[in-house]
Chains A and B, each alone.
Chain A
């Protein structure tokens, strides 16, 4: 069944959109990532104009994250205090990010920057996670006790300490604020929730337990993407409600299923799967930049250089 999208001004298959929403929703629930880094390129691929894809995706992430966070709240795996600190950083970062985005747009090359951001961040994070999880799995195979995380590093020397009971941490608020800020900037530039950066940062940098990481990142993502959606809707008029509804119907159902799958898998397995996925997307985008494109020319609306 074809459906015409009023803002995107293209006609697409409704079931295709529902299916895409569902698959990305499952991943979102499993890993606590918004799924934007997968969905946004997929939407480009089926012919949605990039500006509309990015803005609408932010709206869709709100829905799937909200659905996911409710499931996590029920299991008490959301550190609300940590989430709020991350969120404050995130909102400031998103504001900066939009300004940076508009500045780069005036210079041209914004597409290139977005793609390079994807390749670099996905590559580094995916690689690190993959190696780490592989080592962790090897250790459990040998029945050796899991390596103790460095409990005392430079992070513990910073001021403004705060107790995060759910995470079992007593650390300074500065690192989570900075993590939130960076994720906010990247979220605005790359048009994603930023979970794929925040989740590893929370695990490896802040030392949070994997169980609470997913719920807490979803909590932060909801507010940052809601803010981004409003910014796009009021400045660029690129949020397509019809597209968002179709994606989110699939997405919210998928997120519920994903959350349940996530609880059945071990933390190491979960991480290695996420790492593989991140690497696949990264490789795909890198090929785009390295191989000669079949069409060298591209059309865009005038004025936006």
Chain B
């Protein structure tokens, strides 16, 4: 219901400005996780298609977001009890993206108003959905903040202000560095065009992040035939143990 309303609002809001659409290109629309995968840098570029003349004021600004699959996360907080630090309160954050990057063409506050941010869930805190805290936990907010802090430290959440280059209000480009510890899934990539902090146009596509080759095979085997996978692991372990023993015996006798 909300979505329909929101779609209507977008439709109604659009004609206020002249029609502007995004034409998007990406250096790659899939990320293959191979055995030597070490992160990936994705170049996102595009142009603004419009029928009418370029509106000069307010200037066109561009926001690009890349979001990994949403997952529920349990956040625990340590407390000192009987002299040792133990996990005490825990809060379940209903849906937090495994990866989230926001790139903007200017300071975030100038590029997007707070109302629009709320509506489009653009900034990092808004991208995380946390419904309610259990009874007895007072500062549930600090748990959601902890998710952002920890993931920002790990390079999983990135706020990249002033990193989208816009030329002649028409061409734009940016790059997002994805770290090595990615989870599989469809990474939703959004481009929002704004004028005076209001979203005038948006475009959405996805980057397919998948394991391939040996990684894919091992992963599938471990899920589909776990017993076989376990036995194979053991067989490798025993063979390696025996092999090393035999090799050392050979070296000793030879030398």
Interface residues of A (CB under 8 A from B): 1-4, 6-7, 9-11, 47, 59-60, 62-68, 70-71, 74, 108-109, 111-112, 226, 229-230, 232-235, 237, 239, 241-242, 244-245, 248-249, 252-253, 255-256, 288-293, 295-305
A301-B74 contact, Cβ under 8 Å, with A3-B35, A9-B183, A71-B245: yes
B217 vs chain A, min Cβ distance (A): 9
**Does A6 lie within 8 Å of B218, measured CB to CB?**
yes
Q: Is the CB of A10 within 8 A of B73?
A: no
Known: A3-B35, A237-B226. A70 touches B242 (CB 8 A): yes
B125 at the interface (CB under 8 A from A): no
**A6 CB contacts on chain B under 8 angstroms:** 211, 214-216, 218-219, 222
Q: Please, how many angstroms separate the alpha-carbon atoms of A70 and B249 in the complex?
A: 10
| B230 A112 Cβ-Cβ under 8 A | no
Contact (Cβ within 8 A) A3 B36: yes
Q: Given A6-B211, A289-B84, are A237 and B234 also a contact pair (CB < 8 Å)?
A: no
Candidates B74, B215, B227, B241; contact of A252 at CB < 8 Å: B241
- Can you list 23 A-B pairs with a CB-CB distance of less than 8 A? A4-B36, A6-B218, A7-B218, A9-B182, A60-B237, A62-B241, A66-B242, A67-B244, A70-B245, A111-B87, A226-B237, A233-B229, A233-B230, A234-B230, A239-B233, A242-B218, A245-B236, A256-B245, A295-B146, A296-B78, A297-B142, A298-B75, A299-B147
Which of B73, B223, B234 has the largest count of A CB atoms less than 10 A from its CB? B234
Report Cα–Cα, A237/B223, bound state, in Å.
Answer: 7
Q: A3-B35, A293-B78, A300-B73 are in contact. List 9 more A-B contacts (CB 8 A).
A: A2-B180, A6-B219, A63-B238, A65-B241, A66-B241, A68-B241, A229-B234, A244-B233, A298-B78
Main secondary structure of the interface of B (DSSP, over half): helix
**Residue tally, chain B, CB below 8 Å to A:** 61
Give the Cβ gap from A197 to chain B, nearest Cβ, in Å. 22
Could you tell me the distance between the alpha carbons of A300 and B223 in the complex, rounded to whole angstroms?
21
A230 with B234: CB separation less than 8 A: yes
Q: Kindly provide the distance from the CB of A241 to the nearest chain B CB, expressed in whole angstroms.
A: 5
Complex formed: what's the CA distance from A291 to B80 in Å?
9
Query: Do A4 and B215 have beta carbons less than 8 Å apart?
Result: yes
Q: Is A239 a contact of B230 with CB atoms below 8 Å?
A: yes
B203 at the interface (CB under 8 A from A): no
Question: Contacts of A296 on B, CB cut-off 8 Å?
Answer: 77-78, 146
Report Cα–Cα, A196/B187, bound state, in Å: 46
